[in-house]
Structure 1
């Protein structure tokens, strides 16, 4: 008998049928990859298993007993631990790492009323040691990077003695070394009998650890693949069509140089770097976490400073002191963590798709301070058509959309107004193959600007860019345009 057996699970949101009779089984000591395009039903399935929402119909059997978790606490008591892609619910600014690691115990009343700081630190250290991670316990959670917040979430989930661990895009913000460490932990947990449902768009992750893969489309399981997993067929089942060639179609680029960096040092101790991007060109920078990708883009966008060197935009000196100055000069940026940097919280006035797109343009669209919905709704409607955003209408909440459609909305924000240079930091994080192709087509359709993309996934760089640079220790190195995907991988991890 499998540890988990789901049969004919259904769930609708109004007229939208998110789950249309999903069936899946997972055995003890098994890692099952769940694949599916954004909107296929993966998130709905996970929310039901984790107690965030209830199913309309069907059954969930765990350890031989029927369960119907109504809250995350119910799911945890039943033996299900979930690590979500967004880490906003893991902790908050003002809390220490130790506080965040022990938050679930406080919520459950599992700690005494009076407890010393040293005792909390010892308990938190035990949790980290069991997970195999190392983090500064007294550091403010709000100061952690996306990767560090993910490690806290995973360590805390592992601290609960669960029978089933659900991981939603766990390596999206992790470096190669951190990912390998996580894989070692998951393989150890599997050998101890833990069942793991692993959701990721990264085939390299699934190839490394998955025993088998199941594919969702349209709220149903449409395919199953055992190891060695045939990812070409799995992805075709996922998106419902044949795969297109990875390498982008070559196109003519203007000879005009849009942006230059000369003798730039990101840190006082780093080597100088030069960068040149022509109008209509898409350049990708790839490298492991901490190599300097985000620091480079932040400096260009006025959110950080260079240690040395000069920048030129359209042949003229460019040195923005703030993102506002960068935007005024024609430089736009979509930051790495869209949940923190680009999306307004649910329930706020600006949480609709239309408002998400219009937010940075309010001063130019509504110069007299009077807001009219027509302009932003027209832009959102055009984006729905152009980028294939799956939304009921322009006023739909951005939080009702899947991760890939949220990212399309962020891209649409900077498509709404002309720009000279577009900066994209990890634009495909948590985005499936189909949505990624839509975003890439939108990026490459623009010949009136230059585009600089930072990605930790070399395959993504190869798929989108005209030219690729690897970055290591804040130093850039070119990679041949006609390189194979394997050589791109080797170039960024050498």
Structure 2
């Protein structure tokens, strides 16, 4: 008997049919991966299993009994624990990592009102040991990088003794080493009989873990692939069209550099490095978490500083004191976490596609201070057409869009104006293969500027870049050819 059996689940939002008679079973001790383009129905299915949404039709059996949680706490109590991609609600600024790990116990009053700091530390360390993670329990949760916040969320879920663990893009912010540690933990849980529903766009994750891959398209499971998975076939099934036969050929950029760093040091005492990017060139920097990739991009964008060294833009000295100065000079950046760095919160002014695109250009577009909505909409409509953004129109909220379409809007912001250098920090987080292909095409089609990308995924780096550089201990060490090296999906074979 399956641990979980979803039968003909359907769910609509107005005229949009998110799920259409979706049917899927998961056995105890099985890892089933969900693969689907943004908007295929993955999130809606997870929300139903998590008690966030109720289906319009269909049913779910868990351990042979009807399962219909009305709130997430009911799902957790039944043995279904979900770790979401966003970790904003895992902890609260000001609380320690240990507090965040024990937060559920305090909320449901399993712990006394007064509890010693020593006990919190001891209990939290035990939870981390069980999960196989090494994190500082006394550190402020808000100060943790995205990767460590994800590990806290997973550790907290594991100690709830779940029988079904649902993971939504768990490795999106993890280094290769951390991903391997997570793989080992999940495979151990599988051996102990836990079922895992794993949602990921990364074929490396699925190749390492999945017993089966269920492909969603249009709100239903259209095909299931057993291990070993033919990922080219699975991706073609997911996007509904053949893959391009090859990635773009690597280009050799000539001419004077658009951007240069000479004798750069990111930290006092780190090894110096030089970097040069030419017009039309896409360069990716890869390396483990903490190698210095994001620090480098922040320094170039004026949000940080080099410890030593000089930067030049179009041959002239370049030393921005702020992102505003960098933007004025023609340098743009899309940060690692688009929800925090690029999008206004839902319900706030500036949350529409048109407003999101225009936000950093307001002083240039409207020097008199009077905003012209017609111009905003025209720029947004051009971005929607050029990047293939799936949206109701330019006045739609960015929060109604899938992750891949949100990232296209962020890219569209910097496509709206000419520029000299585009900085992209982890641009493919939470982006499916189809949307990633569209974004790569857009990045590589711009030959009037240079593009510098930071990514912890070497396969993404190879796919998008003309040159791939490796950063280690805050210095650039080596490089190799990028785009054209391999086909999409080949990394999982």
- TM-score range (shorter-chain normalised) is over 0.9
Mapped to 2, the partners of 1:11 and 1:173 lie a distance apart of 30
Query: What secondary structure, in the 3-state scheme, does the structure 2 residue paired with 1:127 have?
Result: helix
Please list every run of 5 or more consecutive structure 2 residues that lacks an aligned counterpart in the other structure: 487-493
TM-score (norm: length of structure 1): 0.95
Question: What's the CA shift for 1:482?
Answer: 6.6
1:80-112 superposed Cα distances (whole Å, 9 cap, x missing partner) = 111111111112321211121122222222221
Does residue 7 of structure 2 align to residue 14 of structure 1?
Answer: no
Q: How big is the shift at 1:240?
A: 0.8
Aligned counterpart, 1:350: 350
Deviation of 1:253 (Å): 4.2
8 Å contact kept, 1:247–1:462: no
| Distance across 2 between alignment mates of 1:72 and 1:375 | 43
1:442 is matched with which residue? 442
Match of 2:462 in 1: 462
1:150 aligns to what?
A: 150
Which segment is superposed worse, 476-485 or 224-233? 476-485
* Residue 201 to residue 257, structure 1, CA distance change in 2 (3 Å): same
Equivalent positions of 1:212-227 (< 5 A) are 212-227=212-227
Residue in structure 2 matched with residue 489 of structure 1 by the alignment = none
User: 1:168, 1:199 within 8 Å by CA — same for their partners in 2?
Assistant: yes
**Separation of aligned partners in 2, 1:437 and 1:340:** 24
Contact 2:464 2:483 in 1 (8 A): no
What CA distance in whole angstroms lies between the structure 1 residues aligned with 2:254 and 2:411?
23
In the TM superposition, what is the alpha-carbon distance from 1:334 to its structure 2 partner? Answer: 0.3
- Contact kept? 1:335, 1:425, Cα under 8 Å: yes
Q: Could you tell me how far 1:310 is from its partner in structure 2? A: 0.7
After TM superposition, what 4+ stretches of structure 1 lie above 6 angstroms from structure 2? none
Structure-2 residue corresponding to 1:78: 78
What are the Cα deviations for residues 12-54 of structure 1, in whole angstroms up to 9, with x where unaligned? 1111111111111100001111101111111111111111222
Say whether the 8 Å CA contact 1:253–1:447 is kept in structure 2: no
Task: State the match for 1:247 in structure 2.
Answer: 247
Deviates more, 1:413-422 or 1:352-361: 352-361
1:245 Cα offset (Å): 3.7
Counterpart for residue 40 of structure 1: 40
Gaps of 5+ in 1: 487-494
Contact 2:335–2:341 under 8 Å retained in 1: yes
CA drift of 1:432 comes to 0.9
**1:399 shift after superposition:** 1.4
2 CA distance for matches of 1:482 and 1:130?
39
C-alpha contact (below 8 Å) 1:248/1:466 kept by paired residues? no
Structural mapping, 1:308-347, within 5 Å = 308-347=308-347
Displacement after TM superposition at 1:75 (Å): 1.4
- What per-residue deviation string (whole Å, max 9, x for no partner) do you get for residues 303-344 of structure 1? 111111111001001111211111111100001111111111
What is the rounded CA distance, in whole Å, between the counterparts of 1:70 and 1:352 in structure 2?
A: 31
- Distance in 2 (CA, whole Å) between partners of 1:381 and 1:66 is 46
Compared CA separation, residues 445 and 354, structure 1 to 2 (3 A): same
- Whether 1:471 and 2:440 are equivalent positions in the alignment is no
Give 2:96's aligned residue. 96
User: Matched residues in 2 for 1:446 and 1:342: separation?
Assistant: 21
Match of 1:178 in 2: 178
Residues 458, 485 of structure 1: 8 Å contact kept: no
Q: Tell me if the contact between 1:459 and 1:485 (Cα under 8 Å) persists in the aligned partners.
A: no
**3-state DSSP of counterpart to 2:481:** coil
- For the 8 Å contact 1:281–1:447, the answer to whether it is kept is yes
1:452 equivalenced with 2:449 (yes/no): no
Give the CA RMSD over aligned residues: 1.6
Shift of the 2–295 alpha-carbon distance from structure 1 to 2, 3 Å rule, reads same
- The farther-off stretch of 436-445 and 348-357 is 348-357
Map of 1:51 onto structure 2: 51
